[in-house]
Amino acid sequence: MSAPAFANPLLESVDRPPPRRVAVIGAGTIGPDIGYYLKSALPEIELVLLDLRQEAIDAALARLRGYADKAVAKGKMKAPDAQAVLAGLAGSTDYAALAGADWVIEAATEDLALKRRIFADVEARVAADAVITSNTSSLPAARLFAQLKHPGRATVTHFFAPAWRNPVVEVIDWPRADRALLAWLRRLFAATGKLPLTTGDAPCFMLDRVFDNWCNEAAHLLAHASAAQVDTVAQAHVHAGPFFVLNLAHGNPIIVETNTLQAAEEGAHYTPATIFGSVERWLTVAPGKRVEVGAAQAAAIDDRLRGVLWSQAVDILDRGIGHSADLDIGCRLALGFKQGPLQSMREAGDAEVTRVLQRFAAERPGMPLPRRALAAYQPSERHVVVDRVDDVVVITLRRPEALNALHDEMTDEILAVIRRHEADAQVAGFVLTGWGSKAFCAGADIGRFPSLLGDAGAAAQYARDCARLLVHLDRCAKPVVAALNGMALGGGFELAMRCHALVAQRHATMQLPEITLGIVPGLGAMVVPYRRWPAAAAVFHGMLARADRLSAAQAHELGIVDDLADTFEALIAKAVARVHALAGRPRPVADAAVALPAWPDGAAAVSGGKRLSAQLVALTGRAVRDAAAARTLADALEVGYRAFGESACTAAAREGIAAFLERRAADFGATG
Ligand code: DAK
């Protein structure tokens, strides 16, 4: 498997247009879910669901209507949008309905002979350049498509349940697939909210090798423990234990099938546990529930579970089945692991990993073991991906599960990438952008905020520490340009405003929602915009005091955004051009005091119809005023750090952050 040309697939240029008519074969569970994802992302396409049974089609169409109704009821979709999703949707038991399809997705039963018959039939009915993909979770593409006349237009695209919401799709890179097909699929998936992970063509690809062997190992452990005990121990690593998931997904036959395939190809150590043949439903615990497990027994179970996980991880990387940067994120987002195997290896340390794997090798002879030093398996970045466009390094924030929200590790990685390339004469500068087309960055990771509350000094120090990246940008010798591909919120906008220029796609927005969380911005938003764009001071007041949203067009008019782009390609092209234009011309943030217009009255402050904390509005106003009066940028930033510390000790902060995490509206009525 060769590495894709770009880690961020949206940087790939492709000639083929998006699909217009898609056929999904198989109206079981996953086929219709794939269809719903596609129709939600690309409502203009025609979608036809094919199945041998009309009842399956009727049930599938009813399910999709149910999804759309639910999305409208929850306010996630507007009624006209739901109508567009459901328009152009049809079902058929007749393969003649394949006519005109430019993409056929097969999601039928896992049976090689059946799938081959389907592909022969499909190929006879669609154009020679129509794309054909299979959603198999285990059968290699080389086998599935061996008999196609035009195999270059075919590959496996493996979705994960629920396919309409789970972002992960494995895109299998097999030798006969056209490179342009893989680039088109990766790009299309990334543009429609998915996380395509390129994997090699081994049986079960990357992620199901982890999942199937994890479940199989759990079943082997039943010689020493109950299913409930294994699930209890496993919950240290996953949100739901393997037996709970197997019950949910009726997964026993799948493990038997996939592990039989792996055993046939790779050795008897993969043979499915015999108990799968005699049990239909496991007696186990629900996620979060536990049963009694003795300490020694728990340790033995845990060693075996970590053993299989780490053994699979090193094997996948040693055989080039997947990329290290993709393995962890795939395990977390597709399979529900709390952290990926490489991260857990790193945290456990080499000595512990070696101990666990030695024990695993003794208990499970034949299972793969590391072939290199353990450090060699670790990815250099986990939360960003790095590409080169000409002589510019493009850093893409990649946390699709949290709209690319920032946390310490991500900012450290951005800083490390910039430091690594700063002295390189071949690098002209940097572009920062976000994964996908929705968000540049949704701000700081709110899940981590509760630990900051209650200690003003510690919170202020934390803000100072976290500002390292931004302070580095202030002094960076090479230009750094923010390319806003979507919303830039809170800390994300603070990061963008410290870049030396901003370019934005027209749908991008900027907002400082901190006040709605009962805190003040910690990373310079009370300081920097007033010094860089003093004429827009009143606008920044509104953004800070009421969380007013700024559109890309407004920001462009105010001179905050230097250029607007219609597409992602244009965005990156403009950002790269800005890097070149800025070379040798740094844009320092002003080191002098600035004048301010009057601060809005906080007593009746509301944002989006919701009352805000008057105390926080006043605190923000005071910090903005003191920072504006400070003579140096460093002094002004210090005012901001201390104000953040102060805000972290308010009842409003406790309420605002708890409300976000509990998915409810904050009530600042009682907090002041
Ligand atoms: N942190 C963590 N997760 C986030 C997130 C964030 N900032 N923003 C979004 N997510 C997650 C959501 O929880 C959701 O996760 P699941 O429910 O799927 O598990 C997923 O991303 C998708 O989001 P939604 O389902 O909410 O998507 P919608 O399109 O419906 O809504 C939204 C998009 C952006 C309107 C909404 O997600 C939202 O309101 N997000 C929060 C925006 C926000 O308030 N951002 C934080 C601003 S405060 C400091 C450093 C920095 C800062 C402060 C201090 N120090 C160092 C001290 C900065 C502060 C901020 O940035």
Structural domain containing residue 324: 207-377
Statement to judge: residues 149 and 88 lie in one domain: yes
Average pLDDT over residues 462-467: 90
Ligand 1 and 462: CB distance under 6 A: yes
Q: Are residues 368 and 392 in the same domain?
A: no
Q: Residue 452 CA: which ligand 1 atom is closest?
A: 57
3-state SS record for 22-47: EEEECCCCHHHHHHHHHHHHCCCCEE
Q: Whose CA is nearest to atom 53 of ligand 1?
A: 522
Write the CA distances from 106 to 24, 94, 161, 293, 294, integer angstroms.
6, 15, 16, 44, 47
> Does residue 313 sit within a domain?
yes
Residue nearest atom 44 in ligand 1 by C-alpha distance = 513
Residue 397: enclosing H or E segment and its boundaries?
A: strand 392-397
Cβ of 402 below 6 Å from ligand 1: yes
Protein residue whose Cα sits closest to atom 21 of ligand 1:
402
Residue 400 sits in the same domain as residue 437: yes
Q: Residues 655-660: what's their mean pLDDT?
A: 93
Contact assessment for residue 614 and residue 513, using Cβ atoms and an 8 Å cutoff: no
Q: What is the DSSP string of 273-327?
A: PGGGGT-SS-----TT------HHHHHHHHHHHHHHHHHHHHHHHHTTSS-HHHH
Q: Is the CB of 251 under 6 A from ligand 1?
A: no
Q: What whole-number distance in Å separates Cα of residue 496 and Cα of residue 476?
A: 14
Please, which pLDDT band fits residue 602 given cuts at 50, 70 and 90?
Answer: low
- Work out the number of other CB atoms within 10 angstroms of the CB of residue 315: 20
Nearest CA to ligand 1 atom 3: 402
Does the pLDDT of residue 606 top 90, yes or no? no
Is 463 touching ligand 1 by the criterion CB < 6 Å?
A: yes
Residues 421 and 278 in one domain: no
pLDDT band at 445 (very low <50, low <70, confident <90, very high): confident
622 and 473: one domain?
Answer: yes
Question: Do 26 and 170 belong to one domain?
Answer: yes
Same domain, 531 and 547: yes
- Predicted local distance difference test score (pLDDT) of residue 335: 97
- The closest-lying atom of ligand 1 relative to the alpha carbon of residue 446 is 1
Task: Mark whether 291 and 213 lie in a shared domain.
Answer: yes
| CA within 13 Å, CB half, 120 | 8
- Tell me how many helices (H) and strands (E) the chain has: 26, 20
Query: What CATH number is attached to the domain comprising 276?
Result: 1.10.1040.50
Nearest CA to ligand 1 atom 30: 76
Q: Write out pLDDT tens, residues 88-114.
A: 999 999 999 999 999 999 999 999 999
CATH number of the domain that 568 lies in? Answer: 3.90.226.10
| pLDDT band at 391; cut points 50, 70, 90 | very high
- Average pLDDT (141-149) is 96
pLDDT value for 584: 82
Assigned domain for 670 exists: no
Mean pLDDT confidence for 169-181: 97
Q: Is the CB of 489 under 6 A from ligand 1?
A: yes
Residue finishing a domain among 163, 198, 233:
198
Q: Is 1 inside any structural domain? A: no
Domain assignment of residue 486, yes or no? yes
**Whether residues 289 and 307 fall in one domain:** yes
Ligand 1 close to Cβ of residue 447 (< 6 A): yes
Could you tell which of 164, 414, 446, 644 is best to mutate to test the pocket of ligand 1, judged by most ligand atoms within 8 Å of the CB? 446
CA of 446 to the centre of ligand 1 (A): 6
Q: Are residues 409 and 498 in the same domain?
A: yes
**200/608: higher pLDDT:** 200
- Please tell me whether residues 558 and 626 are part of one structural domain: yes
How far is the C-alpha of 210 from the C-alpha of 335, rounded, in Å? 9
Contact call for residues 242 and 234 (beta carbons, < 8 A)? yes
